[in-house]
Amino acid sequence: MSNEWFTIAVLVFAFYVLWRTLKRGYTGLFRPQTGSLASSGEFEIEVVGESHYQQSLERICGGKTRDGVEKYVTATLVLEDNNPYDKLAVRVDIDERTVGYLSRKNAREYRRRLKEVGHPRLICRCPAVIRGGWDRGGDDKGYFGVRLDLPNE
């Protein structure tokens, strides 16, 4: 009887790990192919939805400061086909924490470009900058924002 319970526990754990992996946007059983994108130095692409991830951004930046931050980091762009709001969503992670998404327009353009170069499932890294996050007391507080340095062409 105890062998059966052990087997059931192992299966439940394995299904849980698989479910968590798929929930994070990894659609294959193996680690997806990754790559880095060339940068233009412009940081023109705004990440959307950061207001929902301020706690993660605060942890990445080491907290709010009087004058705010300008922290240069590397972002990972993850195709999130299982997103309930947009099946073509592209999630933006920094230090393995979700910090927002590409806008619908930018997500579709990004996916189109991946397909054009023959890597429609590639998970890419690119330079990013986190700005903001000041706290001067009272109501004088600012949110963190994220901009990406993606290739222009």
**Cβ contact 128:147 at 8 Å:** yes
Query: 103-136: per-residue pLDDT in tens?
Result: 999 999 999 999 988 888 888 999 999 999 999 9
* Residue 3 CA to its chain's centroid (Å): 41
What is the model's pLDDT at position 19? 59
**Residue 75: strand pairing partners:** 94, 126
Full DSSP string of 22-78: HHTT--SSSPPPEEE----S---EEPB-GGGGHHHHHHHHTS-BSS-EEEEEEEEEE
Secondary-structure class of domain 32-148 per CATH: alpha beta
pLDDT of residue 17: 60
Q: Hey, where are the domains in the chain? A: 1-29, 32-148
At 84 the pLDDT is 96
User: Quick check: 9 pLDDT over 80?
Assistant: no
Alpha helices in 2-48 (DSSP H): 2-23
Identify the CA nearest to 90 among candidates 113, 60, 72, 71: 113
